[in-house]
A and B are shown apart, each in its own frame.
Chain A
């Protein structure tokens, strides 16, 4: 069974631009969560989607948004990029009601 895939793996953007990251969960998994990892703040929860609905959101500004499609694939968007948005963005999928979350390899975003 294929794992969680994230595209692109690496991305370089400049301040003020916007970016869209994609996550394809493990087949059959309908819950997708996003996390941001930075050296200063560590791993922080962004949001979680299930059945195309945002179920939970972390403490991030409105520039961070996401969505989930009917095939459970998810995208997150960051508008008006700031230098501090440089991070590894991790996506995790799971079966609803099951504890384990399986993470993808992440997208490393660099904002110049």
Chain B
């Protein structure tokens, strides 16, 4: 069963506008971690933001914020004030459990974001 679902293969956003990239997940664990990574065309995966399942506040990192809705099992990434350099593939990933010996990440299929000038 697919554990991470990203339903938007591609998204377009105007420069300086905000955009939300969707991510839903499936797990029976109570303890897990959710990540967002950015992958430019160069291939390197860039860590953006992390949310733990027990974190009460939504994670924020600069222009990135994670809209975590635990009951709905969603972890959407919000990018505010989009910039041309934000054009890239974005991956949602989950690690279960967040600590311990298993550090394996399960990734979604990704969303290709294009920022228009």
Contact = CB atoms under 8 A, between A and B. Distances in A.
Contact of B45 (A48, A90, A97, A99): A90
Interface string A93-106: 01001011111111
Interface of A: 31, 33, 35, 42-43, 45, 48, 50, 55-56, 58, 88, 90, 92, 94, 97, 99-106, 108
A99 B44 contact: no
B44 A106 contact: yes
Given A90-B45, A106-B43, A45 B98 contact: no
Band of interface residues on B: 20 to 34
B103 A42 contact: no
B6 to A, nearest CB: 10
6 contacts: A33-B104, A43-B105, A48-B102, A48-B104, A101-B105, A108-B43
Nearest to B37: A103
Nearest to A4: B44
B106 interface: yes
Contacts of A56: 101-104
A101 B47 contact: yes
B40 to A, nearest CB: 10
Contacts of B101: 50, 55-56
A33 B91 contact: no
